[in-house]
Amino acid sequence: MDAQSDYLERLRSTGGKRSTKRDLIVSVFLRQDGHLSADDLFDLMRQEDQKISRATVYRTLQWMVDAGIARKVDFGDGRFRFEHSYGHPRHFHLVCESCNRSSEFLSSDIEVLLEEISGARGFQPRQSVLQIYGACEDCQAGRPAAPQSAPTEILFARDALKMAIATERSGLDFYTRGAKLVRDARAKKVFKRLSEEETEHLDALEGRYQELLAEDPRLESYPTFLFFKGAANGLFASGAEELAGVVDDREALMLAIKCERNSHQFFKRYGERFEDSEGKRIFLEFANEEREHLELLIREHRALVARVENANRPSTSRKAEAN
C-alpha cells in the first residue's frame, strides 16, 4: 500500500469525505521528510495554492494526527512539529539545545521496558514519547552542523539489513563448524544444507544492502538508528562458541534448535512491533526463514533420537518388532 492509498483507507475508516484542498495538503505533507511546524507546512502549501488558508492547513494537520497519518512532537521550543507516520517507524528523539536540531533513534528494548512498567501499573498506553535533551556531537566539538541525515525509513532499512546480515554470518559460521563436528550422516547433511542456505541468504541480503547504498552513497556514514542490546555480532555468535563443548550429535542439534528459535522469536517479536516499513518487512521475512530452519532441525532431532533409541535396544526386541 502506498502513501496515497493509506491516506484514502484512513479517510474511509474515519468516515471522512474527500476534499480537494485536504487531499493536496496531505499529498504535500507526505512528500516531506523530517519535522514540520504548522507554519512550515502552510508556507509550502502557499507555493502550491495561494488561496489556501492557514486555518485549513491547521485543521487538516489535526485531522491527520487523529487519523494516525501524522504524529505531533514537542521539542521544548514552544511550538509543535509534525512528522508523517506512513512507512515511518515509531521512534524517539535526541534534541540538541544548542543548535535546536533533533536526531532520531529506535530501540524496542526501551519500548519493552515501557510496556512492562505500564503493565505493572495496570496502565493502558496510547503512545510512547521519549526525548533526550542535551548537546550534539558537533556542538560539543564546536564544528558546523553536519549535513542532514537520510530519511528515517532508509536508516531503519539499513540497520535492519545490517542486523540480519550479522545474524546470517554468525549462522554460517555455526553451521560450517557443526558440519565438521557431527558424526551422524543425516545430521551432517542437514548442517551442510543449512550452511549452504545461509550462504544464499547472506548473498541476497548483501545485494539488498548494496541497492540501498546505491540510493545514497553516504548511507554508512549516518548515525545508527536501530539499537538492540547484544545483537550486533549476530544471534548465533555465542552458539558457535558453545559448539566446541558439545558431547554428541543430539546436543549439537539441540544447540542449533536453541539458536534458530531465539533468532526466529527475536525477529518476529520486534518485527511485529514496528509500524509498516521496509525495516519491518526485512525483520518478518527473516523471521519466516528462521522458522523454516527451526522446523527442519526439530524434525531431524526427533529422527536422530529415534535412531539412537532403536540402535540401543536389545537385538531381540528389534527382531520382535520386525516380525
Q: Which residue carries 507526505 as its cell? A: 30
- Residues 161 and 208 sit within 8 Å (Cβ to Cβ): yes
Predicted confidence band at 259 (pLDDT cuts at 50, 70, 90)?
very high
So what's the pLDDT on residue 242? Answer: 92
Alpha-carbon distance 313 to 323, whole Å?
A: 16
- Which three cell numbers mark 41? 507546512
pLDDT at residue 181 above 60? yes
Averaged pLDDT for residues 182-210: 95
Reported as type and span, the H/E element at residue 309 is helix 278-312
Predicted confidence band at 86 (pLDDT cuts at 50, 70, 90)?
low
* Region class of 36: left (phi > 0), else alpha (psi between -120 and 50), else beta: beta
- Residues 66 and 13 sit within 8 Å (Cβ to Cβ): no
Assign 299 to helix, strand or coil: helix
Predicted confidence band at 227 (pLDDT cuts at 50, 70, 90)?
confident
In 79-152, where do the E strands start and end? 80-84, 92-96, 102-105, 131-134
Predicted confidence band at 247 (pLDDT cuts at 50, 70, 90)?
confident
Q: Which residues contact 119 (CB under 8 A, 6 or more apart)?
A: none
Paired strand residues for 132:
94
Averaged pLDDT for residues 179-201: 95
Predicted confidence band at 87 (pLDDT cuts at 50, 70, 90)?
low
Paired strand residues for 93:
104, 131
Q: For residue 287, how many other CB atoms are within 10 A of its CB? A: 20
Predicted confidence band at 152 (pLDDT cuts at 50, 70, 90)?
confident
How far does Cα 117 stand from its chain's mean position? 23
In 3D space, the residue among 276, 320, 242 whose CA is nearest the CA of residue 89 turns out to be 276
pLDDT at residue 162 above 60? yes
Predicted confidence band at 187 (pLDDT cuts at 50, 70, 90)?
very high
Q: Which residues contact 186 (CB under 8 A, 6 or more apart)?
A: 300, 303, 304
Averaged pLDDT for residues 82-92: 71
Q: Which residue carries 556542538 as its cell? A: 139
Provide the 8-state DSSP code for 77. Answer: S
So what's the pLDDT on residue 12? Answer: 53
So what's the pLDDT on residue 149? Answer: 73
Tell me, what amino acid is at 299? R
Averaged pLDDT for residues 261-267: 93
Alpha-carbon distance 204 to 275, whole Å?
A: 24
Give buried/exposed letters for 208-237 (b at 16+ CB in 10 A, else e).
ebeebeeebeebeebeebbeeeebeebbbb
- Which of 125-129, 143-147, 216-220 bottoms out in mean pLDDT, i.e. has the lowest? 125-129
Q: pLDDT tens across 265-302, in order?
A: 999 988 887 777 888 899 999 999 999 999 999 999 99
Q: Which residues contact 238 (CB under 8 A, 6 or more apart)?
A: none
In 3D space, the residue among 5, 30, 153, 17 whose CA is nearest the CA of residue 83 turns out to be 30
- Residues 260 and 293 sit within 8 Å (Cβ to Cβ): yes
So what's the pLDDT on residue 30? Answer: 82
Average pLDDT over all residues of the chain: 84
The pairs formed by 109-117 with CB atoms below 8 angstroms and a separation of 24 or more are: 109/227, 109/228, 109/229, 111/273
So what's the pLDDT on residue 1? Answer: 46
| Domains present along the chain, CATH in parentheses | 18-85 (1.10.10.10), 152-312 (1.20.1260.10)
So what's the pLDDT on residue 288? Answer: 96
Averaged pLDDT for residues 63-70: 82
- Which of 12-26, 41-55, 108-122, 149-163 bottoms out in mean pLDDT, i.e. has the lowest? 12-26
- Residues 159 and 226 sit within 8 Å (Cβ to Cβ): yes
What angle (nearest 5°) sits at the alpha carbon of residue 291, between those of residues 287 and 294?
A: 135
